[in-house]
Amino acid sequence: MKMQFRRVVVTGMGAITPIGNSLQDYWKGLINGVSGAANITLFDAAKFKTRFACEVKGYDPLNHFDRKEARKLDRYAQFGIVAANEGIKDCGIDLEKVNHDRVGVIWGSGIGGLKTFQDEIEYFVKGDGTPRFNPFFIPKMIADIASGHISIRYGFRGPNFTTTAACASATTAMIDAFNYIRLNKADMFIAGGSEASIVEAGIGGFNAMQALSVRNDDPKTASRPFDLDRDGFVMGEGGGCIILEEYEHAKARGAKIYAEVVGGGLSADAYHITAPHPEGLGALNVMRMVLEDANMKPNDIDYINVHGTSTPLGDVSETKAILSVFGEDAYKLNISSTKSMTGHVLGAAGAVEAIACIMSVKEDIVPPTINHFTPDPAFDPKLNFTFNKAQKRTVRAALSNTFGFGGHNASVIVKKFVA
């Protein structure tokens, strides 16, 4: 007998991104094609190959935390808490009435507290060798601490952990939460991810891999997915929160519903530590898996928010996979890479991009792939990459792809909610 899964819906969201520090500001930035890239201000990048990034703008931790608390939180954890606070408020849950044992937190981060790690090691190396470390060094740095802080803040005692799958981390968190709810292990999850790796070690490390764009003369147009002159990704930072809830639980409390989550897929390239499979095999497999999990056919999808990092190899392999999975239906899709605007927020990418999909389904508009100037003959010109301007269309369902170093692939599908 086939197992009957419970339905899972989205009842709240929160975002802090390089193009908007709230859900609505982020969505407005996406639809208007705003670039979040500019010269780095978080440290002196004058000697680095890449001197720009997509930083969160106008962020003051003291607007969200008291001074003492802020000192105990790495920037990545701060972003996670800020996004979660907005998402929890947005979902309208009554914290006095909810069963805290049935609410969990699953949060993704690819790296965690990189700034904290860098600062503490630098302080030690510059000292006299005496091991003087901040007592908050470890609890500030570890990648799971954001989920811990969120659960402590609200008293949520359900499943609580962090997913680390490089740039697929937040999507993996969302899929885990989706599965726990539909299997009746919980009623509600705060899911998402956050990252803050615009530090010397982050930029320098990715520069050493030749992964970042070096278009220092024109940062705003440096993230160019599917453009002939793309030369690497642009580092971003921020966080995204998605409140997932069992449908009957949401209905009973009269919650607003943005969309329904209907499928999740996970696969591995099993190919290379950083390069994608040249034929997009892992991406192909994960998209087939997510369609099967959602019991949907390729022609049921209207929009794919692609991983689309603006790297020479990645963009090509993902497009090959889409053509393999969707066939002729690929030409009916809207495809876009919102990383052209936000940059690559690493472990948080899946959350902020799933939010873009959810809002696209809700509002029937597809955000663009900006910064397209020169067609690349490697891409089929009949594919609609939603270049440079948002496009209105009915979006019945949207698929979000995220792929990470190590060959980690994760895809999720959201669709219009119908009671």
Q: Tens digits of per-residue pLDDT, 182-208?
A: 999 999 999 999 999 999 999 999 999
Q: What is the pLDDT of residue 4?
A: 87
* Catalytic one of 149, 249, 277, 344: 344
Q: What is the pLDDT of residue 270?
A: 95
Establish whether 167 is a catalytic residue.
Answer: yes
**Cα radius of gyration (the chain):** 20
What does the DSSP 8-state code read for residue 338?
T
Chain centre to alpha carbon of residue 417? 22
H-helix or E-strand spanning residue 14: strand 8-16
Chain centre to alpha carbon of residue 58? 21
Mean pLDDT of 47-72: 98
Q: Domains plus CATH for the chain?
A: 9-252 (3.40.47.10), 264-415 (3.40.47.10)
Q: What is the pLDDT of residue 199?
A: 98
- CA–CA separation, 182 vs 245, rounded Å? 9
- Structure token pair of residue 386: 């939603």
- CA–CA separation, 11 vs 244, rounded Å? 6
pLDDT per residue over 204-250, tens digit each? 999 999 999 999 999 999 999 999 999 999 999 999 999 999 999 99
- CA–CA separation, 285 vs 325, rounded Å? 9
- Answer yes or no: is pLDDT of 1 > 60: no
* Catalytic one of 54, 91, 149, 167: 167
H-helix or E-strand spanning residue 152: helix 145-154
- CA–CA separation, 398 vs 22, rounded Å? 22
Mean pLDDT of 259-280: 95
Query: What's the mean per-residue pLDDT of the chain?
Result: 97
- Answer yes or no: is pLDDT of 141 > 80: yes
% pLDDT > 70, the chain: 100
* Catalytic one of 149, 307, 372, 408: 307
Mean pLDDT of 41-63: 98
What does the DSSP 8-state code read for residue 127?
T
- Answer yes or no: is pLDDT of 83 > 70: yes
- Structure token pair of residue 110: 């690819």
- Answer yes or no: is pLDDT of 3 > 80: no
- CA–CA separation, 393 vs 365, rounded Å? 6
Establish whether 344 is a catalytic residue.
Answer: yes
**Residue 6 near residue 246, CB atoms below 8 Å:** yes
Mean pLDDT of 61-90: 98
Mean pLDDT of 259-287: 95
Q: What is the pLDDT of residue 2?
A: 62
- CA–CA separation, 419 vs 213, rounded Å? 45
Handedness of CA 340, 346, 350, 356 (dihedral sign): negative
Establish whether 241 is a catalytic residue.
Answer: no
What does the DSSP 8-state code read for residue 277?
P
- CA–CA separation, 262 vs 291, rounded Å? 9
Q: What is the pLDDT of residue 124?
A: 94
pLDDT per residue over 338-367, tens digit each? 999 999 999 999 999 999 999 999 999 999
Q: Are strands 391-392 and 365-366 parallel, antiparallel or unpaired?
A: antiparallel
Please choose, from the candidates 340, 77, 354, 352, the residue with its C-alpha nearest in 3D space to the C-alpha of residue 197: 77
pLDDT per residue over 303-331, tens digit each? 999 999 999 999 999 999 999 999 999 99
Higher pLDDT, 104 or 128: 104
